[in-house]
Amino acid sequence: MNKQSGGCACGAVRYEASGKTEFAFHCHCRKCQRITGSGHASAFALHRDDIELTGEVREFEQMADNGAATYSGFCPKCGSPIFSRTVRFPDRLYLHVATLDDPSRFEPKFVVYEQAAQPWDYIDPALQAAPR
Ligand SMILES: [Zn+2]
Ligand SMILES: [Zn+2]
């Protein structure tokens, strides 16, 4: 995936992204479940310098299970989650894939926190467990 664009549900937040996807995954942790209101978050990581955001993004801070602070960036107008970031990998932004204008290009490779997955949520057996 090279040139990509996306934004929130109401359009107040928009981004243009380029560069190489560093990590494409489904995360089944409880935090992603709550943030997305669904069984998992589907996201991909880019270097933060490769993303140009416009519009106001607010961040909500919480502690990950490994003790590192994580931030969930969302549009304060419509509440759509846009990205996550963690102090553990300060150079990365994890964009939520459905914010893309063309989410069909997403190619997930990893599954994270599969042990927290809900019994009704599907896990593709072809995906690898993520390196921690
Ligand atoms: Zn919005
Ligand atoms: Zn998660």
In a domain, 77, yes or no: yes
pLDDT(132) > 70: no
Residue numbers of the domain that contains 52: 1-7+20-100
In a domain, 88, yes or no: yes
Sign of CA dihedral 77, 43, 117, 32: negative
- Rounded to a whole number of angstroms, the CA Rg of the chain reads 14
Structure token pair of residue 97: 């894939």
pLDDT(48) > 70: yes
Share of the chain above pLDDT 90, in %: 85
In a domain, 37, yes or no: yes
Q: What residue type is 2 in one-letter code?
A: N
Give Cβ neighbours of residue 122 (< 8 Å, ≥ 6 apart): none
CB 17, CB 105: distance < 8 Å: no
Partner residues linked to 53 by β-bridges = 15
**pLDDT, the chain, mean:** 93
In a domain, 115, yes or no: no
CB-neighbour burial class of residue 58 (10 A; exposed 0-12, middle 13-18, buried 19+): middle
In a domain, 13, yes or no: no
Structure token pair of residue 107: 């190619």
CB 73, CB 81: distance < 8 Å: yes
Structural domain count, the chain: 1
Query: For position 64, what pLDDT does the model report?
Result: 77
Structure token pair of residue 56: 């106001």
In a domain, 14, yes or no: no
Which of the ligands is closest to the CA of residue 38?
2
Which of the ligands is closest to the CA of residue 74?
1
The residues whose Cβ lies within 5 A of ligand 2, an ion, are: 27, 29, 32
Q: How far is the CA of 29 from the centre of ligand 2 (A)?
A: 4
Query: For position 52, what pLDDT does the model report?
Result: 97
| Domain CATH for 94 | 3.90.1590.10
In a domain, 61, yes or no: yes
E strand or H helix at 32, and its extent? helix 30-36
Q: How confident is the model at residue 128 (pLDDT cuts 50, 70, 90)?
A: confident
Query: For position 130, what pLDDT does the model report?
Result: 76
Q: How confident is the model at residue 63 (pLDDT cuts 50, 70, 90)?
A: confident
In a domain, 125, yes or no: no
